[in-house]
Amino acid sequence: GAGVSQSPSNKVTEKGKDVELRCDPISGHTALYWYRQRLGQGLEFLIYFQGNSAPDKSGLPSDRFSAERTGESVSTLTIQRTQQEDSAVYLCASSLERGTGTQYFGPGTRLLVL
């Protein structure tokens, strides 16, 4: 595709509900990243996928957060039992290579937990 796409663009949910965020990376990009951006903050790394290797989950803030990716395609980030502090913009990025590869970002999903 032309770029990284994410859906939904906005999500409002009630505290305690589960949410699922979707990321479609650029075709052919083996690496996929999820970041969280809280209001007025920089980007916080959450999780990284590289091909069929085991993901790097070192940035996930709690066990309520999980993510999946099948091969080199779509990824979903799931937040269970959402809390108000989960409110943020969730950004997905993909790249041809890990680490040094230029990361191309999607527009993000703005999550608001009431």
Partner 1 sequence: AQSVTQPDIHITVSEGASLELRCNYSYGATPYLFWYVQSPGQGLQLLLKYFSGDTLVQGIKGFEAEFKRSQSSFNLRKPSVHWSDAAEYFCAVGSPGANNLFFGTGTRLTVIP
Binding residues (CB under 8 A) for partner 1: these are 3-4, 33, 35, 40-45, 48, 50, 56, 59, 91, 93, 98-100, 102-108
50 contacts 64 by C-beta, under 8 angstroms? no
Shortest distance, position 15 Cβ to partner 1, whole Å: 26
Round to whole Å and give the CA distance between 62 and 5: 25
Shortest distance, position 27 Cβ to partner 1, whole Å: 17
Nearer to partner 1, 41 or 52 (CB): 41
Shortest distance, position 10 Cβ to partner 1, whole Å: 11
Cβ atoms < 10 Å from Cβ of 40: 5
Nearer to partner 1, 106 or 113 (CB): 106
Nearer to partner 1, 20 or 56 (CB): 56
Beta pairing class for 65-69 and 109-113:
unpaired
Q: How many CA atoms lie within 13 A of 75 on its CB side?
A: 33
The type of residue at 96 is L
Nearer to partner 1, 86 or 108 (CB): 108
The type of residue at 101 is G
